[in-house]
Structure 1
């Protein structure tokens, strides 16, 4: 594996760790605010402000903001799906625990990812579900269930 590939893999691992850390922080905010929707809103507001500062600092003049009004409605779903994920994680983390919520979420991601690949949805290249890929997905689901129930 090249040094660049190792660095990218390290960034992916770090991002995954951040998601695990985010879940209990947001759950604590929900407890203090008295509502998981308030905590999700706080999380997205802070995240949006951070992204705005970074975008204005590093991508000034590179973002075609004039195209926003002509985006197909489906492209707005990214934010909606993110809001749903964060809210569900906030609600489930105190009950199921961080490890189970993250493991089950990853199992859902892998399962959905295989379907997206198989059918080439959203303009992605089609990738068949091979025995190895299906077995890997089943192992992830079994692992997630083991994290939750054992």
Structure 2
């Protein structure tokens, strides 16, 4: 991220960046909390049953939000690429992964592995511009960050 120089003209930009960082952190908190819930629920009712309950709850919450937002552009779903239509399958993989790893490794270790996986796929997505992403080449700083994150995950697992 580029450095923001404080001038009267970019106060709005600084606020926008802080807001985006806050939203990102809120998403991380949600994933972290859901991870532990997924692990506990998977232990109690099974991975597939827990995944169904989580996705059903998410579908109902999304439907309510969609109603409030007057449908957004949902009628355009037919024009989406195949990989967007099948992305719910990735949520199933994540849920089943968490329901298996959290009871055995604990929340911190399991979430560390998920974060490392997200970083690695993020590097590939950015580097190759996959799924409509802007291209951001892998450079030495990104490689160093990935190595440090891998080292941190390794330390969490010990």
State whether TM-score is above 0.5.
yes
- Distance, in Å, in 2 between the alignment partners of 1:115 and 1:64 is 29
1:49 to 34, 57, 60: 60
Q: Pick the aligned partner of 1:115 from 117, 124, 129.
A: 124
- Alignment size in residue pairs: 146
Which structure 1 residue ranges, 4+ long, deviate > 6 Å from structure 2?
none
> Offset of 1:61 from its aligned partner?
4.1
5+ unaligned residues in a row in structure 2: which ranges? 5-13
Equivalent-residue separation in structure 1 for 2:58 and 2:139 (angstroms): 38
Separation in 2, partners of 1:114, 1:44:
27
User: What's the TM-score, normalizing by structure 2?
Assistant: 0.84
SS of residue paired to 1:87: helix
Cα root mean square deviation, aligned: 1.6
Unpaired segments ≥5 residues, structure 1: none
- 1:25: which partner in 2? 37
1:98-128 per-position Cα deviation (integer Å, ceiling 9, x unaligned): 1111111111111111111111222322222
